[in-house]
Amino acid sequence: MTGPVLDTRPRTALMYNYYLGGKSWSGVDAQAAMEVVRSSPDVPAVARENFRFAGRAASWAVAEFGIGQVLDIGVGIVHDVPLDSVEKCVRAVSPDAMVLAFDNDPVVLTHARAWRPGYGGVLRGDIRDLDSIFHHPDAGDLLDLTAPTVVVLAAVLHFVADPAAVMAGLRERLVPGSVVVVSHATSTGTEQGRVDDMTGAYEEASSPIRFRTEAQIRALADGWRVEHDLVDVQNWSTDGTRRYAPYETVRVVGMAAVLPEAPATVEVAHVVG
């Protein structure tokens, strides 16, 4: 009799934990992460700026629009990261806000359950299957689908083959006034050799990475009202005062967009001659 086949691939969530200064990675994750860092030494710094961006943008959306619920999708492992999480940032401006975290990686879920009892504060959900999130049985009593929601997709869509379908699915499920926070690795302003190296390093990981141009990323906001234009995550701010130089070896850009009210339908009277 043979035992279960163990998945020994590097896991993108644990590689991210490594970049952020956490301790939840294994040797294979660290090895893959170090391969990325050898090619692009700025990656840990950019990852930390991305993490800060997610918390900054989510807390702004909650405070600015009075939204009381947040979905942090693809949350990863954050309990041992020496930075303020989305949940902590949101609770700082709205202590009663509901923050639900989702991830599809079983290793992330195992860590979450070990860290906190019950389901560990992280529910199993896949961004490529939005029903697994919006109709999760454990979220039914917590999530009000008739109220605006902040959805955080920080460094998630560059692991998705069809991000436009995800954004369209969110438009269908969310009510007007909802906000989506997105960050994405971009090939714009990044040397092609480094893009190729990073793409190669993630080929054997649990989720391959896909760099996209700024124009392609901005197009994902089709049907949304972008509140603050797409910028490097370290420069995203509500008042435009953050002015940091771009990182030399890799860029991650972010934006926040609001789902507007649907345009009113104009009825045309037909005159019978």
242 pLDDT above the threshold of 90: no
Answer with the residue of higher pLDDT: 162 or 238.
162
- pLDDT tens by residue, 59-75: 999 999 999 999 999 99
- For 73-85, what is the mean pLDDT? 92
pLDDT at residue 9 greater than cutoff 80:
yes
Q: Give the CA angle between residues 165, 107, 114 to the nearest 5°.
A: 125
Instruction: Using the predicted structure, report yes or no on whether residue 249 has a pLDDT greater than 50.
Output: yes
- Lowest model confidence (mean pLDDT) among 11-20, 81-90, 242-251, 260-269: 260-269
Residue 2 has pLDDT above 80, yes or no: no
pLDDT at 181 (0 to 100): 98
Secondary-structure breakdown of the chain: helix, strand, coil percentages, each rounded to the nearest 5: 35, 15, 45
Confidence of residue 1 (pLDDT cuts 50, 70, 90): very low
Write down the pLDDT at residue 236: 95
Angstrom CA distances, 134 to 76, 82, 102, 151, 160, stand at: 19, 30, 10, 11, 18
Q: What is the pLDDT of residues 148-193, one digit of tens each?
A: 999 999 999 999 999 999 999 999 999 999 999 999 999 999 989 9
Question: Which of the pair, 222 or 263, is modelled with greater confidence?
Answer: 222
Q: Which pLDDT score, from 0 to 100, does residue 263 have? A: 60
pLDDT tens track for 92-150: 999 999 999 999 999 998 888 776 544 447 899 999 999 999 999 988 888 999 999 99
Backbone torsion region of residue 106, taken as left when φ is above 0, otherwise alpha when ψ lies between -120 and 50, otherwise beta? alpha
- Percent of the chain topping pLDDT 90: 74
What pLDDT is recorded for position 53? 97
Average pLDDT, whole number, for the chain?
89
**How confident is the model at residue 7, as a pLDDT?**
57
In percent, the amount of the chain with pLDDT more than 70 equals 91
> Does residue 60 or residue 228 have the better pLDDT?
60
Closest CA to 172 of 126, 130, 217: 130
Q: Give residue limits of the domains in the chain.
A: 12-235+247-258
Contact (Cβ atoms closer than 8 angstroms) between residue 182 and residue 218: no
Tell me how far apart the alpha carbons of residues 41 and 33 are, in angstroms, rounded to a whole number: 11
Domain 12-235+247-258 fold is Rossmann fold (3.40.50)
pLDDT, tens only, 201-215: 898 888 999 999 999
Please indicate whether residue 144 or residue 262 has the higher confidence score (pLDDT). Answer: 144
